[in-house]
Structure 1
Amino acid sequence: MRVAVGSDDVYSIARFLVDYLRKKGFEVKLVGALATGKPYPWPDVGFEVGSMVARGEVDYGIVICYTGTGVSIAANKIKGVRAALVTDARNAEGARRWNDANVLALSARLTSEELAKEIVDAFFNTREIDSSEVENIEKLKTIDNA
């Protein structure tokens, strides 16, 4: 599976996640500070990762900034992106199951390594969309075209 991971700074949790994903066999593409080694504007991180997902260059994206809010807002500006800011594994599972999220947003401030593993595992292990939410997810696609 191909995943773009972007961060606005070289946070230890961002580096940890890149290593964790690679060890699990993911093809990881680096964006922002993870690619440059220096601070990078959070709107650009969200936009670049979201664009990669929307164009099909990667299957999913992960965006990280201090709170996770800015990168999630920026990613959601891209047509076809459903970025979810999550703080635990249950929310990550729900974001996939009920919202068909394709970009995971994380807070560098709040996310420990153990929590990051739980969140990422829940997000990527949830493959089935709740059938009761298909209509709502289709509504999002209609909104994208409005």
Structure 2
Amino acid sequence: MKIALACDHGGYKLKECIKSYLQELGVEYIDFGTYSEESVDYPDFAYKAAKAIVNGEADRGIFICGTGIGISMAANKVRGIRAALCYNIFAAEMSRRHNNANVLCLGGRVLGEELAKAIVKVWLETPFEGGRHERRINKIAEIEKTEYGGK
């Protein structure tokens, strides 16, 4: 599994922590930035990393801004992205199990490092259940087709 990482200045410190944790877990990643705490705009980084996922360069993503809210909004504008903002382990598990989230969004200013790592671990390890949930994911894809046109 290859993870696309993205953050803004508010998520930079937590992204660096998550990078180290992914290395410990033996999970490959691509870091799409930002690379410092200098103020930047989260949509720029969310878009680059989200496009890498839908283009097959990465399997999933972990995106981080100050609260996780803005970066999740930006990510979800990209067709094929199902970004879930998670502040606890249960939400992370359900985002995978029921929603097949392909992007985990975290708040660098609202989560401690240990909780963030626990959320990441559960999110990486939890499979999608499929079944009735697959029907719902397909309906999301149909909404994207209607709103964005094309296939």
Normalising TM by the smaller chain, what interval?
A: over 0.9
Deviations 1:108-145 (A, max 9, x none): 11111110111001101101324221111110111111
Deviations 1:65-108 (A, max 9, x none): 01111110110010100000000111000001111100000001
Q: Secondary structure at the match of 2:32?
A: strand
- Show structure 1 runs of 4+ deviating over 4 A: none
In the alignment, the residues of structure 2 paired with residue 45 and residue 70 of structure 1 have an alpha-carbon distance, to the nearest angstrom, of 11
Letter in 1 for 2:110: L
Equivalent in the alignment of 2:5 = 5
Q: Which runs of 5+ in 1 are unaligned?
A: none
Residue 98 of structure 2 contacts residue 128 of structure 2 at CA under 8 Å; is this kept in 1? no
Residue 32 of structure 1 contacts residue 44 of structure 1 at CA under 8 Å; is this kept in 2? no
Equivalent in the alignment of 1:15 = 16
Root mean square deviation of aligned Cα: 1.4
Alignment of 1:2-81 (within 5 A): 2-9=2-9, 11-34=12-35, 38-81=38-81
Residue 47 of structure 2 contacts residue 78 of structure 2 at CA under 8 Å; is this kept in 1? yes
Deviations 1:19-76 (A, max 9, x none): 1001111111111213x67443101121111111111110001111011111101100
Q: Secondary structure at the match of 2:98?
A: helix
Letter in 2 for 1:128: F
Equivalent in the alignment of 1:142 = 142
In the alignment, the residues of structure 2 paired with residue 58 and residue 38 of structure 1 have an alpha-carbon distance, to the nearest angstrom, of 26
Q: Secondary structure at the match of 2:133?
A: helix
**TM-score scaled by structure 2?**
0.90
**TM-score scaled by structure 1?**
0.93
In the alignment, the residues of structure 2 paired with residue 137 and residue 127 of structure 1 have an alpha-carbon distance, to the nearest angstrom, of 14
Letter in 1 for 2:57: E
